[in-house]
Structure 1
């Protein structure tokens, strides 16, 4: 049994660890900012109050991401994905796997503002992207997570 930084092994299943600190920080920040806007600036202006409520709602939706679960099941050769507490778990066959993708948004000053690691599947000729993780300012953690996933899936690194 190997020791992975981004995955927890349970038999033939490898569970992707949740990004608790990152998601909780972003979600909490949005909730606090939204409620502060709604109950300070929004007390004199209805539009600002509704904008504050909207920002707080986005924060709550971000916190809902903490309930998502992603697992690589090598026993049944599937990716198991549950987007949040209210959605059902969906299984995707590893036979449909094409590649991984790390996409980043760079600001005008060359700073990586957001990066996303996704798994690309080809299901009956249609491309399906499964978001695995996100990061801010750096793509290195996402690349490391993908390297671990490739090792778990027994895919050789051709890079």
Structure 2
């Protein structure tokens, strides 16, 4: 297996390196809106984006993606209150690369995994960014890790 760009390896456990770009841009835009609200002396336009920016910052540091080949599972933690989803590799049905576009401009790209849990189809978001290429590279590395072990 070649050197991984998006994951760090500790034995047979692979952890996705932190990706702060998408959230940092989102938080910066919210803070700019809050600053504009303060300048215009509109309290609601200032406080709501400021609170959302703080919550997004907390969420940014809570997320993680770990591929544990010792236990043959993927552990995903996302969101403000990080509830971990443990996905056995044998239960994975497929991966999805989804891009949202607004007026021909890609605004968000998500990498999702679909799996079976208690005979119900579930999904979990693995990574998020701006470009399909970055998400495709992460997906290629995930598949390489799973296939290699």
Match of 1:60 in 2: 54
Match of 1:134 in 2: 128
Match of 1:121 in 2: 115
TM-score (norm 1): 0.80
* Aligned residue-pair number: 147
Match of 1:143 in 2: 136
Match of 2:146 in 1: 153
Deviation at 1:82, TM superposition (A): 2.3
Deviation at 1:55, TM superposition (A): 1.4
- Counterpart contact for 1:33–1:52, Cα < 8 Å: no
| Equivalent residue runs for 1:4-23 within 5 Å | 4-23=4-23
Question: CA RMSD for the aligned pairs?
Answer: 2.1
Match of 1:76 in 2: 71
| Equivalent residue runs for 1:19-98 within 5 Å | 19-30=19-30, 32-41=31-40, 43=41, 48-64=42-58, 65-83=60-78, 86-98=81-93
Q: Deviations over 1:95-132 (max 9, x none)?
A: 21111111111222x22121111111121232222112
TM-score (norm 2): 0.85
SS of match in other structure, 1:4:
coil
- Listed as ranges, the gaps of 5+ residues in structure 2 are none
Deviation at 1:86, TM superposition (A): 4.6
